């Protein structure tokens, strides 16, 4: 495995092509769960787990089922089914082992199923690492790494946003800007700040 390529994937997924702040995917859980740091950490870890497991499973299915049988056009349906299965597993696990966390996450845990960032990373993997024949094992490994760092980038954005929103609760914000309006303004400013990383070249 090429160390330079791994480093490139890490920097790209966390900073340059951050799924929330650069690609604007997964905004619903980003804005809904980022009110408090604790729930942001929980959601971030859940998204990382789902992204990594989904990337592994979808890469295996894509490389050893869809490509050999020439049914790549079914990848979106297959990827959605795999992601939905993992999210249901996480939801049942958290509901049984940590009811307070389950109540804290509320509706946003099932929203991982329809989180376009999770589906986006699996499709990006298929387009990037399986575009040319050969090297399926390396493609699967790079897909998992890309999903891991995409999840880390998702969590970084959540943590930054939750820290800012917790401070805004103590600030004197005009009534018309309280809640989601100021959150959208902060998110747009964070996105502009992350655009500075787009000048990186690998």
The answer to whether residue 37 is domain-embedded is: yes
Q: Is residue 184 part of a domain?
A: no
pLDDT at 58: 94
pTM: 0.86
Rounded to whole angstroms, the Cα distance separating 200 from 75 reads: 31
79-115 pLDDT per residue, tens: 989 888 888 887 888 888 888 878 876 666 676 766 7
Q: Which domain holds residue 26?
A: 3-160
**Interhelix angle for 37-61 vs 75-97, to 10°?**
140
pLDDT at 86: 80
Q: Are 29 and 169 in contact (CB under 8 A)?
A: no
Note the pLDDT of residue 41: 87
Could you give the dihedral angle defined by the CA atoms of residues 126, 130, 136 and 141, in that order, rounded to the nearest 10 degrees?
-50
Domain membership flag for residue 10? yes
Q: pLDDT at residue 202 above 70?
A: no
Query: DSSP per residue over 30-77, as a string?
Result: HHHHTTSHHHHHHHHHHHHHHHHHHHHHHHHHIIIIITTTT-GGGHHH
The overall average pLDDT reported for the chain is: 87
- The answer as to whether 190 is a domain residue is no
Domains contained in the chain, number: 1
Q: CA–CA separation, 155 vs 173, rounded Å?
A: 26
The answer to whether residue 50 is domain-embedded is yes
pLDDT for 40 equals 86
Backbone angles phi and psi of 149, in degrees to 5: -75, -30
Domain contains 199: no
- The pLDDT > 90 percentage for the chain reads 43
What pLDDT, on the 0 to 100 scale, is given for residue 153? 95
Contact 159, 23 (CB under 8 A): no
Instruction: Give helix 180-194 / helix 136-168 axis angle, nearest 10°.
Output: 130
Output the pLDDT for position 108: 65
Does residue 193 form part of some domain?
no
The yes-or-no verdict on residue 198 having pLDDT over 60 is yes
Could you tell me the pLDDT band of residue 164, with boundaries at 50, 70 and 90? very high
Residue 198 included in any domain: no
Residue 134's pLDDT is 54
């Amino acid at each position: 495995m090429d160390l330079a390529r791994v480093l490139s994937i890490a920097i790209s997924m966390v900073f340059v092509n951050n799924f929330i702040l650069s690609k604007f995917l997964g905004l619903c859980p980003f804005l809904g769960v980022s009110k408090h740091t604790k729930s942001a950490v929980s959601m971030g870890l859940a998204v990382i787990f789902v992204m990594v497991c989904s990337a592994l499973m979808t890469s295996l299915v894509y490389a050893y089922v869809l490509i050999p049988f020439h049914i790549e056009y079914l990848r979106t349906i297959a990827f959605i089914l795999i992601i939905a299965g993992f999210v249901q597993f996480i939801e049942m696990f958290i509901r049984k082992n940590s009811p307070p966390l389950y109540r804290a996450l509320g509706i946003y845990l099932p929203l991982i199923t329809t989180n376009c960032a999770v589906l986006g990373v699996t499709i990006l993997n298929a387009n990037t690492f399986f575009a040319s024949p050969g090297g399926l094992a390396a493609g699967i490994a790079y897909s998992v790494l890309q999903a891991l760092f995409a999840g880390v980038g998702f969590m970084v954005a959540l943590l930054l946003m939750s820290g800012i929103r917790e401070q805004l609760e103590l600030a004197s914000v005009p009534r018309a800007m309280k809640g989601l309006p100021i959150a959208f303004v902060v998110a747009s400013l964070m996105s502009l700040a992350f655009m500075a990383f787009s000048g990186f070249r690998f």
